[in-house]
C-alpha cells in the first residue's frame, strides 16, 4: 500500500522505515531539510538498534523515499502523522503547534477516501477537533497511537504488543479500521490484538499506559525512600512483590527514576488536560509521581556527597552514563545527565562517559568533561556513579579492573544494576538506591 508519514523524528522515521520493511511504498515527509537529507542518504539521525539496516534496505529497494515536499503525500492511501508534541515552554500542557501545522499542510493534498492516522501523543479531545478540519476533504481521521520504546523501536513497530485504532462511528470508521488492518497485516495475521475503539479512547490508551508505567516506577522509588530509613532492601522487595502475577516484576527497577522524551512530559500534559476537563483531582496523584521521580535525582547526589565525606568540592567523579536509558543516545530529560550537572554545580570535577550519548550530552551541557573511552574516564576517579545501566558498566565492568584505574574505592549504583556483593568483596564502598 502507498503510505505517507508526516514528521520524520523518532517516531516517524522508525515508522516510515518499518512500514517499508513490511512491503509498503512509503514517503517520509518533514519540514527539516537536514533531517530529510540525512535520511535520504540512508543515515539514521539517531541511534536506534536495527534502524540503519531497514533504512538502507528501504532506500535501496525504492520502497522508501524522503522529501520536504508535502505534495508527495498525494496518492497515499494512509497518511500517518507522527510529529512531536513537546511540553509547552510556560506550562505543563502539550504544545500542539506541530500537529496542527502538519494536518493543515496535509489537507490540500488529501483525496476522498484517504485515511489520516494520528500517531502523536495528544491530549484527549485533539482528534475530534482535527477530524472536523479533515472531514470536508472526504478523508477520514483516525487515531492510531504508538507505544514504541526507544532502543526497541523497530521491534515495537514491526511486532507490537497490541494495535489500537480509534475510528469514527459508522461505515467510514469500519472501512478505516479495515485499511489499518491491511497496513499492519503481518501483525494482524500473527494474532496481535487489534483494538478498534472511538477516538477519545484511543488517545487515552496512550497517556494512560504511560501514566501507569510512570506510576509503577515511582511506586517502587517511594518504597526505596522508605527502605532508606528502615534499612530494608528495595530490590528484594521488588523481587518479592513482583512474583505476584498481578503486580509483575517489570518496571519495578528503583534508582534515579524515569526520564526521556515521553514519560515526564506525557504525565504532565495528562495532568494539565485533566484540569482543563475539570477532573484534575482524578489524576492529582501524577503530580506526586513526578515529585517522587525528581527526588530520586536529589537522593543520588546526596548519597555521593555523603560517601565522599560531606563534600564533592574538587573531587574527581566519573559518571557512567548520559542517556536516559541504555540502548539509546537520547539525553532529553535524562536523570543521568541531571545528576552529573548537579554534582558539577557542587564543585566536583565531573567526567561523563556513555557509549552513544556523548555528542547529544555535550550539546546541552558543554560545561561537563566528556570522555568516550570508559577506562580512560575512570582514571583517577575518587568516586564512580552509575546512572545508565549499559551492559558496559553493569556486566562488563569488573570491580577488580575498575580498582586498577580509580584513586578512590567509592561506587554509587544509581540504577541498582551492579552486583553489590562482588563490589564489596573487591574492597569497594558500595551504595545502592534504597538498599542498605
Catalytic residues: 262
30 annotated ligand binder: yes
Of the two residues 228 and 429, which places its CB atom closer to ligand UDX in the complex?
A: 228
Q: Which is nearer to ligand UDX, 5 or 263 (CB)?
A: 263
* Site residues (CB under 6 A) for ligand UDX, limited to 224-263: 251-253, 255, 257-260, 262-263
The DSSP string of 107-147 is GGG--TT-EEEE-S---TTHHHHHHHHHGGGT-EEEE----
Nearer to ligand UDX by Cβ, of 173 and 414: the residue is: 414
Q: How far is the CB of 134 from ligand UDX (least distance, A)?
A: 24
Q: How far is the CB of 324 from ligand UDX (least distance, A)?
A: 4
Other Cβ atoms within 10 Å of 395 Cβ, number: 12
Q: How many other C-beta atoms are found inside a 10 Å radius of the C-beta of residue 204?
A: 22
- Residue 405 contacts by C-beta under 8 Å, 6 or more apart in sequence? 375, 378, 379, 380, 381
Residue with grid cell 556527597, as numbered in its chain: 305
CB of 271: closest distance to ligand UDX in angstroms? 16
Is 332 annotated as contributing to ligand binding? Answer: yes
The 3-class secondary structure across 216-244, one letter per residue, is HHHHHHHHHHHHHHHCCCHHHHHHHHHCC
Nearest approach in angstroms of CB 245 to ligand UDX is 17
Interface with ligand UDX (CB under 6 A), residue from 144, 210, 271, 353: 210
Q: Where are the alpha helices (DSSP H) in 6-94?
A: 10-21, 33-40, 51-61
- Does the footprint of ligand UDX cover residue 87 (CB under 6 A)? no
Strands of the sheet containing 115-118, edge to edge, are 64-67, 25-29, 2-6, 78-81, 115-118, 140-143, 163-166, 194-197
The three three-digit cell numbers of residue 22, written as one number: 513490511
Judge whether 251 is annotated as a binding position.
yes
Q: Are 18 and 184 in contact (CB under 8 A)?
A: no
Residue 85 contacts ligand UDX per CB under 6 A: no
Residues 131-160 that bind ligand UDX (CB under 6 A): 147-150
Site map (CB under 6 A) of ligand UDX, residues 297-336, x = contact? ---------------------------xx-----------
Instruction: Name the residue nearer to ligand UDX (CB basis): 20 or 252.
Output: 252
Q: Does 361 bind ligand UDX (CB under 6 A)?
A: no
* 408 annotated as belonging to a binding site for a ligand: no
Give the number of other Cβ atoms within 10 Å of residue 45's Cβ.
18
**DSSP classification of residue 148:** P
CB of 325 to ligand UDX, least distance (A): 4
Half-sphere exposure (Cβ direction) of 421: Cα atoms closer than 13 Å: 0
Q: Is 338 in the site for ligand UDX (CB under 6 A)?
A: no
Residue 273, annotated as binding a ligand:
no
- The residues pairing with 197 across neighbouring beta strands, listed in sequence order, are 166
The span from the CA of 146 to the CA of 120, in Å, is: 7
Is 259 annotated to bind a ligand? Reply is: yes
Nearer to ligand UDX, 133 or 295 (CB): 295
206 appears as a binding residue in the annotation: yes
**Cβ(11)–Cβ(49) below 8 Å:** no
Q: Which residue is nearest to ligand UDX (CB)?
A: 253
Q: Which is nearer to ligand UDX, 157 or 316 (CB)?
A: 157
Site size toward ligand UDX, by CB under 6 A: 19
**C-alpha cell recorded at residue 222:** 517511594
Cβ(121)–Cβ(262) under 8 Å?
Answer: yes
CB atoms within 10 A of CB 58: 25
Nearer to ligand UDX, 46 or 147 (CB): 147
**Is 276 among the annotated ligand-binding positions?**
no
Q: For residue 252, say whether it is annotated as part of any ligand binding site.
A: yes
How many Å apart are CA 19 and CA 82, to the nearest integer?
A: 13
Q: Which residues bind ligand UDX (CB under 6 A)?
A: 147-150, 210, 213, 217, 251-253, 255, 257-260, 262-263, 324-325
Which residue numbers belong to the known binding site?
30, 35, 85, 121, 147-150, 206, 251-255, 259, 265, 325, 332
Amino acid at each position: 500500500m502507498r503510505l505517507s508519514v508526516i514528521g520524520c523524528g523518532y517516531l516517524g522515521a522508525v515508522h516510515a522505515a518499518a512500514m517499508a520493511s513490511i512491503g509498503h511504498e512509503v514517503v517520509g515527509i518533514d519540514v527539516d531539510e537536514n533531517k530529510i537529507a540525512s535520511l535520504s542518504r540512508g543515515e539514521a539521525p539517531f541511534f536506534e538498534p536495527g534502524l540503519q539496516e531497514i533504512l538502507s534496505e528501504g532506500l535501496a529497494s525504492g520502497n522508501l523515499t524522503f522529501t520536504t515536499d508535502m505534495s508527495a503525500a498525494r496518492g497515499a492511501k494512509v497518511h500517518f502523522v507522527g510529529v512531536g508534541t513537546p511540553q509547552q515552554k510556560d506550562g505543563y500542557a502539550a504544545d500542539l503547534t506541530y500537529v496542527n501545522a502538519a494536518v493543515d499542510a496535509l489537507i490540500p493534498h488529501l483525496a476522498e477516501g484517504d485515511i489520516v492516522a494520528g500517531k502523536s501523543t495528544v491530549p484527549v479531545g485533539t482528534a475530534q477537533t482535527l477530524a472536523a478540519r479533515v472531514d470536508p476533504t472526504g478523508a477520514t481521521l483516525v487515531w492510531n497511537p504508538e507505544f514504541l520504546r526507544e532502543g526497541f523501536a523497530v521491534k515495537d513497530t514491526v511486532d507490537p504488543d497490541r494495535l489500537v485504532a480509534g475510528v469514527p462511528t459508522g461505515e467510514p470508521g469500519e472501512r478505516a479500521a479495515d485499511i489499518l488492518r491491511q497496513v499492519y497485516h503481518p501483525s494482524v495475521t500473527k494474532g496481535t490484538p487489534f483494538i478498534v475503539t472511538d477516538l477519545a479512547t484511543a488517545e487515552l490508551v496512550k497517556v494512560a499506559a504511560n501514566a501507569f508505567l510512570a506510576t509503577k516506577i515511582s511506586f517502587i522509588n517511594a518504597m526505596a525512600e522508605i527502605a532508606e530509613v528502615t534499612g530494608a532492601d528495595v530490590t528484594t522487595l521488588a523481587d518479592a512483590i513482583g512474583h505476584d502475577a498481578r503486580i509483575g516484576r517489570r518496571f519495578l527497577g528503583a534508582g534515579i527514576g524515569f526520564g526521556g522524551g515521553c514519560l515526564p512530559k506525557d504525565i504532565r500534559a495528562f495532568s494539565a488536560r485533566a484540569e482543563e476537563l475539570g477532573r484534575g483531582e482524578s489524576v492529582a496523584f501524577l503530580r506526586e509521581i513526578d515529585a517522587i521521580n525528581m527526588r530520586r535525582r536529589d537522593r543520588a547526589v546526596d548519597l555521593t556527597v555523603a560517601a565522599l565525606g560531606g563534600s564533592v568540592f574538587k573531587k574527581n567523579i566519573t559518571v557512567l552514563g548520559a542517556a536516559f536509558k541504555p540502548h539509546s543516545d537520547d539525553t532529553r530529560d535524562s536523570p543521568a545527565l541531571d545528576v552529573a550537572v548537579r554534582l558539577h554545580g557542587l564543585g566536583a570535577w565531573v567526567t561523563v562517559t556513555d557509549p552513544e550519548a556523548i555528542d547529544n550530552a555535550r550539546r546541552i551541557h558543554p560545561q561537563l568533561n566528556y570522555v568516550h573511552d570508559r577506562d580512560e574516564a575512570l582514571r583517577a576517579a575518587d568516586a564512580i556513579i552509575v546512572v545508565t545501566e549499559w551492559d558496559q558498566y553493569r556486566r562488563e565492568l569488573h570491580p577488580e579492573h575498575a580498582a586498577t584505574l580509580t584513586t578512590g574505592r567509592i561506587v554509587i549504583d544509581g540504577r541498582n544494576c551492579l552486583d553489590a556483593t562482588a563490589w564489596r568483596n573487591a574492597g569497594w564502598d558500595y551504595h545502592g538506591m534504597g538498599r542498605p
